[in-house]
Amino acid sequence: MLKVSEIHTLYYEEVGNPAGKPIVFVHGGPGGGTDSRDRQFFDPQVYRIILYHQRGAGNSTPSACLEENTTWDL
* Nearest C-alpha neighbor of 15 from the set 53, 43, 57: 43
pLDDT tens-place string over residues 20-29: 999 999 888 7
What pLDDT shows up at residue 15?
Answer: 94
- Evaluate if residue 34 carries a pLDDT over 80: yes
* Residue 44 DSSP code: T
Q: Please enumerate in sequence order all residues whose Cβ is within 8 A of that of 1, keeping only pairs 6 or more positions apart, or say none.
A: 9, 10, 11, 12, 60, 61
pLDDT tens-place string over residues 36-70: 888 889 999 999 999 999 888 889 999 988 888 88
- Evaluate if residue 74 carries a pLDDT over 80: no
What pLDDT shows up at residue 53?
Answer: 92
What pLDDT shows up at residue 33?
Answer: 87
